[in-house]
């Protein structure tokens, strides 16, 4: 769980509350107060999500995307600040047990939908995100390439 507090800022256009990122986890359940700030990146544009104190925003993260073999996509999002009102949000991250292998069900893999990502466990992806945090890059793609390189080396 993460509690975010974004103080107001005299020059909000010069800063970001939380930079653009994909959540690496499976699902994120987000609760916001009544101040807007959350934005998602769709079709090359940032869209503000209206805050609703009585609702949760559920975000698909990279682990869920891998588990569903890319059928649902994780979403690039960020939080911006404003010059009048501080904002608070609460993010509850769901992630797999540490020894569970993230592998899509066979039903989601066939000739037209080949495996997009090699098997991995959550702690390995977590370590990758902690060591190589690169805002706005596609973390899952970069992680997947590393898995493929490691896999190839193991067979050399
Ligand atoms: O504060 C927000 O609305 C977003 C926070 C967020 O994306 C996160 O904590 O991962
Ligand atoms: Fe997030």
> Best substitution site from 38, 47, 56, 75 to test ligand 1's pocket, by max atoms within 8 Å of Cβ?
38
Tokens at 40, concatenated: 């998602």
pLDDT at 138: 85
pLDDT at 90: 97
Ligand 1 atom 8 nearest Cα: 91
Q: d(Cα 62, Cα 59) in Å, to the nearest integer?
A: 10
Contact 81, 48 (CB under 8 A): no
- The residue behind tokens 């979403």 is 75
Q: Report DSSP letters for 51-105, one per residue.
A: P-TT--EEEE-HHHHHHTTTSS----EEE---SS--EEEEEEEE---TT-EE---
Contact 50, 101 (CB under 8 A): no
pLDDT at 98: 95
Contact 27, 129 (CB under 8 A): no
Looking from the CA of residue 37, the nearest atom of ligand 1 is 3
Q: How many domains does the chain have?
A: 1
pLDDT at 153: 79
pLDDT at 135: 66
- List the CATH number of the domain containing 51: 2.60.120.330
pLDDT at 136: 63
pLDDT at 154: 76
Instruction: Point out the residues of the chain with pLDDT beneath 70.
Output: 133-136, 156
pLDDT at 131: 87
Domain that holds residue 31: 2-154
- Using DSSP's 3-state secondary structure scheme, residue 8 falls into coil
Q: Which residues line ligand 1 (CB under 6 A)?
A: 2, 4, 18, 23, 30, 32, 37-38, 77, 79, 89, 91
Looking from the CA of residue 4, the nearest atom of ligand 1 is 1
The answer to whether 2 is a known catalytic residue is: no
């Amino acid at each position: 769980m993460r509690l975010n507090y974004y103080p107001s800022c005299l020059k909000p256009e010069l800063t970001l509350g939380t930079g653009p990122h994909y959540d690496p986890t499976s699902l994120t359940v987000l609760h916001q107060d009544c101040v807007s700030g959350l934005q998602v990146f769709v079709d090359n544009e940032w869209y503000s999500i209206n805050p609703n104190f009585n609702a949760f925003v559920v975000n698909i993260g990279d682990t869920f995307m891998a588990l569903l073999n890319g059928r649902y996509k994780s979403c690039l999002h960020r939080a911006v600040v404003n010059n009048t009102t501080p904002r608070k949000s609460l993010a509850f991250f769901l992630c797999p047990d540490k020894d569970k292998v993230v592998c899509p069900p066979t039903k989601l893999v066939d000739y037209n939908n080949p495996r997009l990502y090699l098997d991995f466990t959550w702690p390995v992806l977590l370590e990758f995100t902690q060591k190589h945090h690169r805002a706005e890059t596609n973390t899952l793609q970069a992680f997947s390439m590393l898995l493929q390189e490691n896999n190839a080396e193991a067979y050399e």
